[in-house]
Amino acid sequence: MSDRYHLAIVGAGPAGLSAAGRAAYYDAVNGATTPSYVLLEGFSTFAKTIQKYQKGKHVMDEPGFLDLRSELGFTAGKREQILASWQQSLEAGINIRYDSEVVAIDGEKGSFRLGLQSGDVIEAEHIVFSIGTQGNPRALGVSGDAESDFVRYTLDDPADFKDETIIVVGAGDAAIENAIALSDYNKVFIINRRNEFSRAKDGNLNAVLAAINDKNRGFYCRYESSVAGLELPACSGQLGALILNTPSGEERIECHRIIARLGTVPPRKFVESCSIEISSPSMEAVPDVDRHYQSNVPGLYIIGALAGYPLIKQAMNQGYDVIEFIHGKNTKPADYPLLQGQFSGLPYVMDAEDVLDLYQQRVPMFRRMNPLAFRELIIESRIIVSLPPSELAQAAPSGDHSTHFVAAGEPLYRHGEFSTSFYTLVEGEVQLQLEQDGPWHTIKPGQFFGEMSLISGRPRQGDAVVSQDSILIETPRRIMVKLMNSNEEVRSGIDRVFVMRALQAAFRPQLSLDELAAIAGRVETCQFKAGEVLFSEGEEGECLHLIRSGTVMLTRGGANMVVAQSHSGELVGQLALMGTPKRADSATAAVRTETVLLRRPEFLTLVNSQPEHVATLQSRLSDTLQKSNAMASQPQAARAIGFLMAEGLGEATNALVIDETLCVGCDNCERACAETHNGISRLNRQSGASMAGLHVPVSCRHCELPHCMKDCPPDAIRRTANGEVFISDSCIGCGNCETNCPYGAIKLSYQAPKKPGLLSWLLFGLGSGPGEPEHFKPSAAAQDAGKKAVKCDACMGRSGGPACVQACPTGAALRLSPNQFAQLVEGR
Q: Exposed, middle or buried, 484 (CB in 10 Å: 0-12/13-18/19+)?
A: buried
Separation between Cα atoms, residue 328 and residue 318, nearest integer Å: 15
Measured from the CB atom, the residue of 278 and 662 that comes closer to another protein is: 662
Q: Convert 687-705 to b/e letters by CB count within 10 Å (16 or more is b).
A: ebeebeebbbbbbbbbbbb
Q: Which helix (H) or strand (E) holds 374?
A: helix 371-380
Measured from the CB atom, the residue of 223 and 761 that comes closer to another protein is: 761
Separation between Cα atoms, residue 255 and residue 268, nearest integer Å: 35
| Sign of the torsion angle spanned by Cα atoms 426, 430, 434, 440 | positive
Shortest Å, Cβ 184 to another protein: 17
Shortest Å, Cβ 814 to another protein: 6
Shortest Å, Cβ 809 to another protein: 4
Measured from the CB atom, the residue of 155 and 669 that comes closer to another protein is: 669
Measured from the CB atom, the residue of 385 and 674 that comes closer to another protein is: 674
What DSSP string runs through 12-71?
A: -SHHHHHHHHHHHHHHHHHT-SS-SEEEE-SSSSSSHHHHTSPTT-EE----TTSPP-SS
Shortest Å, Cβ 671 to another protein: 7
Question: Please, which residues have CB within 8 angstroms of residue 23's CB and are 6 or more apart in sequence?
Answer: 7, 9, 35, 36, 37, 323
Shortest Å, Cβ 758 to another protein: 5
Residue type, 204: N
108: left (phi over 0), alpha (psi -120 to 50) or beta: beta
List strand residue ranges (DSSP E) for 234-369, in order: 240-246, 249-255, 257-260, 264-265, 300-302
| Sign of the torsion angle spanned by Cα atoms 121, 122, 128, 130 | negative
Considering only CA atoms, which of 460, 426, 428, 461 is closest in space to residue 442? 428
Separation between Cα atoms, residue 267 and residue 306, nearest integer Å: 9
Measured from the CB atom, the residue of 256 and 671 that comes closer to another protein is: 671
> For the chain, how many residues are written?
828
Shortest Å, Cβ 559 to another protein: 18
Shortest Å, Cβ 687 to another protein: 7
Q: What is the largest distance, in Å, between two alpha-carbon atoms of the chain?
A: 89
First to last CA, the chain: 85
List strand residue ranges (DSSP E) for 672-809, in order: 684-691, 694-698, 717-719, 725-727, 747-749, 788-790
Shortest Å, Cβ 567 to another protein: 20
Instruction: Check: CB of residue 140 under 8 Å from CB of residue 260.
Output: yes
Measured from the CB atom, the residue of 153 and 643 that comes closer to another protein is: 643
Shortest Å, Cβ 165 to another protein: 25
Shortest Å, Cβ 43 to another protein: 44
Instruction: Check: CB of residue 74 under 8 Å from CB of residue 312.
Output: yes
Measured from the CB atom, the residue of 502 and 672 that comes closer to another protein is: 672
Measured from the CB atom, the residue of 160 and 184 that comes closer to another protein is: 184
Measured from the CB atom, the residue of 267 and 688 that comes closer to another protein is: 688
Shortest Å, Cβ 759 to another protein: 8
Strands 96-97 and 37-40: parallel
Measured from the CB atom, the residue of 16 and 770 that comes closer to another protein is: 770
> Which residues sit at the interface with another protein, rule CB under 8 A?
215, 659-665, 668, 671-672, 675-676, 686-687, 689-691, 693, 695, 758, 762, 770, 798-800, 803, 805-812, 814, 816, 820, 823-824
Measured from the CB atom, the residue of 392 and 662 that comes closer to another protein is: 662
Shortest Å, Cβ 793 to another protein: 15
Separation between Cα atoms, residue 680 and residue 682, nearest integer Å: 6
Measured from the CB atom, the residue of 385 and 652 that comes closer to another protein is: 652
Measured from the CB atom, the residue of 15 and 698 that comes closer to another protein is: 698
Residue 809, CA distances (Å) to 372, 394, 687 in order: 56, 50, 20
Instruction: Check: CB of residue 331 under 8 Å from CB of residue 317.
Output: no
**Percentages (nearest 5) of helix, strand, coil residues in the chain:** 30, 25, 45
